[in-house]
Structure 1
Amino acid sequence: MHGTIFTLLKRYVQTQYDHSTWVRLTESVGLSAADFDHKSVYPDEQMYALVGKASEMAGIPASELQEKFGEYLVPDLMYMYQKLLQPEWTTLDMLEHTENTMHRKVRQEHAENTPPVLEVTRLSEDELEIKYVSERRMGALAVGIVRGVAAYYDEADRIAIDPETSEDGQRVYIRVRRLTAAE
């Protein structure tokens, strides 16, 4: 997994708790509390260990932690990829174009990095479906990112997000629709 995600996880833990929590977390899974290099790629198992232990320490399910972390990631991700964003985009537009803009750029710049492949189908002007399939089994992170994108575009109260996740978290179907005034 890309080092940027580890760096942002560190900041998330420090923001939600404190630096000493990050140190205890990394030490408890056998890693150094030293900074992860945002340009490197690290084994997925390190992220699994960190998320698993963090959820245990926080007393919440790992999927809930992943979702909260996914929401937290969005402002930084949008800042990193701002040159690829179109000013007229809304939540649905951003989600529709993620695979062919941001994920394509990540793959071009970091051949060893493999963000999940998103298959996005625009069902109508106000609705789309995202098929997330990844052996990383971090579908809840994807759901959190979708929620974060809606918040980023100031549409969180006007966007319905309905995820269906397989038991192992490897497959997630996320239906996203803009609510009508009557809803």
Structure 2
Amino acid sequence: MHGTILTLLKRYVQSQYDHSTWVKLMELSGLENVEFDHKTVYPDAHVYALVGHAAEMTGIPAGELHEKFGEYLVPDLMYMYQKLVKPEWKTLDMLEHTELTMHKQVRAEHAENAPPVLDVTRIGPNELYIDYVSPRRMGGLAVGIVRGLATYFDEADRIDVLPTTAEDGQRVRIHVRRR
């Protein structure tokens, strides 16, 4: 997992809960001596442990936590990749272009980076399917990012996001429609 995601996870936990919650999660995960750096790639097991223990501590299912975190990530991701985003793009355009813009750059930065593959099929001007493919099984994160993009582009009240398969699979289909 890219260190940027883990440093943002730390900030998310600290902003939604507090610093002591983050410290407790790190201890429970056996990571108390790890300091995440945004330029390093870490084992996926780190994020699984952190989210798993967060689910136990909060009583919120891990998939739901992934979604909430995905929504939280969007402003930072948009800031990081603003030079790749065309000003006329809205939610569906961002989704359609993520794989060949942002993910392409992430993969080029480090060979170890492995963002999910997003195979997007535009069905019409107001509708598309995203086929999320990743051995990480974090489709909930993708669903949250889609919802976060709708909020970012001030379309949250007009965008429907519906996973049509289980969110914890290696392949997750997400139906996105603008009303």
Normalising by structure 2, report the TM-score.
0.97
Q: Distance in 1 between matches of 2:173 and 2:93?
A: 17
**Cα deviation 1:49-102 (Å, max 9, x = unaligned):** 001001111111000000000000000000000000000001000000000000
Shift of 1:158: 0.6
Q: Distance in 2 between matches of 1:75 and 1:162?
A: 22
| Residue number in structure 1 paired with 2:35 | 35
Q: Distance in 2 between matches of 1:92 and 1:167?
A: 20
- Asked if the contact 2:139–2:167 (Cα under 8 Å) also holds between the matched residues in 1, the reply is no
DSSP-derived class of the 1:165 partner: coil
Q: CA RMSD in A?
A: 1.1
| Residue number in structure 2 paired with 1:137 | 137
Structure 1 gap ranges (5+): none
Q: In the alignment, is residue 60 of structure 1 matched against residue 42 of structure 2?
A: no
- Asked if the contact 2:71–2:146 (Cα under 8 Å) also holds between the matched residues in 1, the reply is yes
DSSP-derived class of the 1:132 partner: strand
Normalising by structure 1, report the TM-score.
0.95
- Asked if the contact 2:3–2:37 (Cα under 8 Å) also holds between the matched residues in 1, the reply is yes
Aligned length: 179
- Asked if the contact 1:140–1:169 (Cα under 8 Å) also holds between the matched residues in 2, the reply is no
- Asked if the contact 1:131–1:171 (Cα under 8 Å) also holds between the matched residues in 2, the reply is yes
| Residue number in structure 1 paired with 2:170 | 170
**Cα deviation 1:121-160 (Å, max 9, x = unaligned):** 1100111100001110111000000000100000000111
Q: Distance in 2 between matches of 1:143 and 1:28?
A: 27
Shift of 1:167: 6.8
DSSP-derived class of the 2:38 partner: coil
- Asked if the contact 1:3–1:37 (Cα under 8 Å) also holds between the matched residues in 2, the reply is yes
Q: In the alignment, is residue 148 of structure 1 matched against residue 148 of structure 2?
A: yes
| Residue number in structure 2 paired with 1:92 | 92
| Residue number in structure 2 paired with 1:160 | 160
Query: Aligned partner of 1:87: which letter?
Result: P
Shift of 1:35: 3.2
